[in-house]
A and B are shown apart, each in its own frame.
Chain A
């Protein structure tokens, strides 16, 4: 049973001590009222001028201005940032992962996927050849000296 004078949590942290938190760990919590949270906003972060803004996460805010105020510290303080965008989560329309199978394709149509182009492999080969060539030239030069 709860006592009439609940014991206050004693802490070395003066902020906690001041907050007057009950020390009764089994004290019943009041159920939070419904909709006690602000709606969520999706945050987009641009690291360099001209680059595209990338989705980095979400946050709670009551409106767009507050979302920007809060997003600045939430997502702009850890790395170089030149711009932050926010959009209401409810304004984002999605084909969700529940329908991931609609992205599947038949093996006959693999040509549609960009991996059909072997540019990467050819580029690596070209670079390796050039490096070998340069090293050869450098060695020849050293031999002269």
Chain B
């Protein structure tokens, strides 16, 4: 039994989010809209995989399985990612909007974690600051490009993706039974504080890009992921991701 179940809970949520969005975004590799963007988006996916690896590494030092096994050998009930990251890549508008909503939340989360009482997390937060700064720069520039600087068709497709993603994005901030202790111990300022900051940030970002953000209070957040209840899209993805690993889990790479 782990002595830090609340830290494990937070780390699993963050690591699984990073792993799954990394895999989803990497599905665009070779299929991106233009060569330059293909490279940029693939690099971002790779950065996310690095974040997942660092977080699974931390979990390993806390007594959890080693990173590869942890990433590739769990089924959906064991996963703690939010629904937003699980969905298929859709069209590029969907993938860009998901990337923007998720990465603005990531940048705020890691910024808050720089003051974490759990030192390895505070160190990681400082280390990935630059990478996430680029992820947000990439995402927000694309939003403006296809919004304020785009045309009617690009604006309509992006707005549809925003409307689809917004309830899913609110699912990022789903609290677990460990929330109280996470906040009390100073590990993280909490999902509620993060959601407040996210809403304050994402509103103006969308507005600058000439998109409309509907009243979040009127939406039903897509909860469940943090407790192991997922969309139908996660399990097939896990099977595809872990297929090679499970052929021989003890293989030396």
Could you show 26 A-B contacts with beta carbons less than 8 Å apart? A14-B27, A14-B240, A15-B27, A15-B29, A15-B31, A19-B31, A38-B34, A60-B35, A60-B36, A61-B36, A62-B149, A63-B145, A65-B145, A68-B141, A69-B40, A69-B137, A69-B138, A70-B36, A70-B37, A72-B137, A73-B40, A73-B43, A73-B134, A74-B36, A74-B39, A77-B43
Contact between B30 and A15, CB atoms less than 8 A apart = yes
In chain B, what residue has the closest Cβ to A72?
Answer: B134
**Chain A facing B: main interface SS:** helix
Q: Does B144 reach chain A (CB closer than 8 Å)? A: yes
In chain B, what residue has the closest Cβ to A18?
Answer: B27
Chain A residues, Cβ within 8 Å of B134: 72-73
How many whole Å from B134's CB to the nearest CB in chain A? 6
Q: Does A53 reach chain B (CB closer than 8 Å)? A: no
How many whole Å from A93's CB to the nearest CB in chain B? 25
Chain B residues, Cβ within 8 Å of A16: 30
List residues of chain B with CB under 8 Å of any chain A CB. 27, 29-31, 34-37, 39-40, 43-44, 134, 137-138, 141-142, 144-145, 149, 240
In chain B, what residue has the closest Cβ to A59?
Answer: B36
List residues of chain A with CB under 8 Å of any chain B CB. 14-16, 18-19, 38, 59-63, 65-66, 68-70, 72-74, 77
